[in-house]
Amino acid sequence: MEEDLISYFKQKMDVPQHDIREYSPLALAYIGDAVYDLLVRTAVVAEGNCPVKKYHKKVSSIVKAEAQSRLIHALMDDLTEEEADIYKRGRNANSYSKAKNASMSAYRHATGFEALLGYLYLTERYARLADLIAIGKERVQDQESDENVVGR
């Protein structure tokens, strides 16, 4: 049976193992941002072929700080105590940058969300990572549908 990509890559590149507790919340967010972006790009490309500019526009709308902030708020009741702690550490981390076109509040929530994704990725909890994204996406879509009905 073929080995999964991550394990194979780590072996081939001789990636050292580190205690996850050694990573700062911003390091977790850094890797979580990349993981989320790759997963969203994978899903968007799977929807069908189109110009790259359209892919970029759709992916950007999903991975922007405001969208991530909505997603994590929709998930808060589903997080374990450990996951909520990781999220809060990321949200409260002192970042010296701010996302373009996002409020500081949304940026901080998005950073917490990315830290959680980075933590789940680095601890190889891939199913949980995917489940949280799927649950959050569904809830946000439901909320947006409800808002559109009320707004009519």
Q: Which helix (H) or strand (E) holds 9?
A: helix 5-12
**Are 35 and 113 spatial neighbours (Cβ–Cβ below 8 Å)?**
no
- Measured between alpha carbons, how far is 11 from 33 in angstroms, rounded to an integer? 23
1's tokens? 């049976």
**Alpha-carbon separation of residue 135 from 10, 91, 100 (angstroms):** 29, 20, 27
Q: Any catalytic annotation for residue 14?
A: no
Query: Which of 4, 14, 19, 33 is an active site residue?
Result: 33
Q: Which helix (H) or strand (E) holds 147?
A: helix 126-150
16 DSSP assignment: P
- Give the catalytic positions in this structure: 33
